[in-house]
Amino acid sequence: MKNLSLAIIVAAFFLFEGVSSASAETRTNITRPNIVVIFIDDMGYGDIGPFGSKINDTPHLDRMAKEGRKLTTFYVASSVCTPSRAALMTGSYPKRVGLAKGSGHIVLFPGDVHGLNPNEITLAEMLKQAGYATGCFGKWHLGDAKEFLPTNQGFDEYYGIPYSNDMWPGLKRWKFPPLPIVRNEKVIAQIDTMEEQADLCRQFTEEAISFIKRNKEKPFFAYIPHAFVHGPRQARELFMNNAENATEAQIEEVDWSVGQILQTLRDEGLDQNTFVLFTSDNGGAGGCVNLPLRGRKGTYYEGGYREPTVVWWPGTIPAGTECDEIMTTMDMMPTLAQLAGGKVPADRILDGHNVVDLLLGKPGAVTPYDRFFYHAADQLKAVRSGPWKLIQERKENVLYHLVNDIAETKNVIKDHPEIEKRLLSYMEAFKEDISNNSRPVGIAANPRTLLPRDGVEGEAAYTPTLLIGK
């Protein structure tokens, strides 16, 4: 009996070891994770605790970074809203898909004739084809004509605002219609007051949580492009009362939102199989902090393009680590295709790369980028290669060594003519490539605003904002 008991104990030990080893193997070879992308609007590089903020209290993002990985050189492909979102959705530079700007402004306006071409294969379409449930909750800003809305671009469901929250009658420089809230393709409400603006973060968060809970039995993609912290700014009373100003309040409410999303994943037992990306669509606007970077939203300096980014996937992404290799939002298409078992479109040029090894902290992994390009609207302005960044200013070329000079303060072009020559050749080659290999912008069949302008009768009330007065 004693020998039998010993045999049982030994067998149990090896069985447990086998299960433990199998579990570890499963954790390191997880495929088809759930995917959550949290895309903040106009947040600065230095606005959250993991990236050095001493102003804003962001405990949930602090925890996310401790449990995940900071990406300290993560770029968007434009320093303003519409083109940045086009790049995330398509894996391509905005100019390649015809959305380096709107039809008559730097971004799309209500009723704009332009939008993301339905012939583009979006991140959501790729994941949907791979068997994912797909939902978008927040600011879209890739066209408000029916054919451009999220539910016609790969998302099963949508709840949010179709463009920036400042595109409403409160901004007197333009004759905007009221700001609509859209569910799928139907306007269900409008935002008339700052108190209603302040409630957007809560609404988008709760809609995303509902989607996660309803789809927890299958793989899902939740895209949460918040309207915060784009102006005009106001958060809910709880956050306004505990902050020095509306900017701080909104950043702290965004942190609350992240906490709600991550806690839902933990509570539902999904955290070990969910990849979460937190970043911003471009650099911070007035009131936000972009330090130690130079520039802000709308510029081609680092403060316009480099974003505070954290990735989280407990048990798979190494906790408490950071990566300084170049990655971009354009990489999400090929990277998530590999993780999800999806297919990257093979009939068009994509500019993004598969960066799975960088995200997972594989030893020796390096950036796939030997060059990265910066635009101002549709004008190519700069290129980065390794530590070097060349900017074509109006009167002269400027060269910075970003590793030694992250704030872009010292022009070292006179000391490195060979670097200038090489980077200029990259820019010329890219101009030719983008000219020969770009795809058409989407054109709306019947451009009109979703809501009528107040005080205007008939169809004229739905005139696209950019056409009024022309």
* Residues annotated catalytic, as ranges: 81, 141
d(CA 281, CA 289): 15
d(CA 259, CA 262): 5
Rg from Cα positions in the chain: 23
Going by C-alpha positions, the residue among 431, 324, 451, 422 that lies closest to residue 381 is 431
Instruction: Pull the structure tokens for residue 322.
Output: 């950071």
Residue 370 amino acid letter: D
Tell me how long the chain is: 470
CA distances 289 to 233, 297, 368, Å, are 15, 11, 29
Going by C-alpha positions, the residue among 138, 220, 245 that lies closest to residue 181 is 138
Instruction: Pull the structure tokens for residue 109.
Output: 């306006």
Residue 159 is given by DSSP the state E
Q: Which residues make Cβ contacts (< 8 Å) with residue 326, sequence separation at least 6?
A: 73, 75, 367, 369, 372, 384
User: Any idea what the Cα angle at residue 88 is, between residues 86 and 93, rounded to 5°?
Assistant: 60
Sign of CA dihedral 58, 294, 171, 157: negative
Sign of CA dihedral 238, 243, 247, 252: negative
d(CA 426, CA 405): 22
Instruction: Pull the structure tokens for residue 128.
Output: 């949907």
| Residue 425 φ then ψ, to 5° | -65, -35
Q: Taking the mean position of all CA atoms in its chain, how far away is CA 285?
A: 16
